[in-house]
Amino acid sequence: MLDGGVAEGEEAVKALSMGARAVSLAPFILKWLGCRGCEVCEPQSCPASILEGSGDPPWAWDEMAERLIEEYGKLREDVEGCIRRMGLKGVQELSRKNLLALDWESAYITSLPLAGLERRVQD
């Protein structure tokens, strides 16, 4: 499971292709709520007022729920679009063979083939 850093559908597709069985969207939600990633994360000391300990939160819950559902829908469409552009039918078909590294360092770290140097079949 990959937890952290997944904010776009493309990132989820890459993680799943590299072997993750699941991705956590908690960082996506926190960022969307206004989290700055300062890692203070305690009531009464959240600079973004996400974890206010008393009183009403800085947003209307009904409006937030509707917007969050909308954002999840966009993320799902992004994942589905990536999968379609890869010529696959679903997330179950994702694997490392669908990926290419874009630079030498990435190719070394991931053991993926470098884009542009893959073998071409000659007619």
Render the burial of 46-73: b for 16+ CB within 10 Å, e for the rest: bebebeeeeeeeeeeeeeeeeeeeeeee
In this structure, is residue 123 part of a structural domain? no
CA dist., res. 18 & res. 2, Å (int):
10
The parent domain of residue 49 ranges over 2-110
In this structure, is residue 58 part of a structural domain? yes
* Tokens (6 digits) for 14: 């890459």
In this structure, is residue 120 part of a structural domain? no
For 48-85, the pLDDT digits (tens) are 666 554 445 555 677 777 888 888 898 899 999 999 99
Q: Who has greater pLDDT, 20 or 123?
A: 20
In this structure, is residue 59 part of a structural domain? yes
In this structure, is residue 22 part of a structural domain? yes
In this structure, is residue 121 part of a structural domain? no
In this structure, is residue 79 part of a structural domain? yes
In this structure, is residue 118 part of a structural domain? no
Average pLDDT score, the chain? 78
User: Looking at the 3D structure of the chain, how many domains does it have?
Assistant: 1
Determine the pLDDT at residue 123. 41
Q: Who has greater pLDDT, 39 or 122?
A: 39
Global confidence as pTM: 0.65
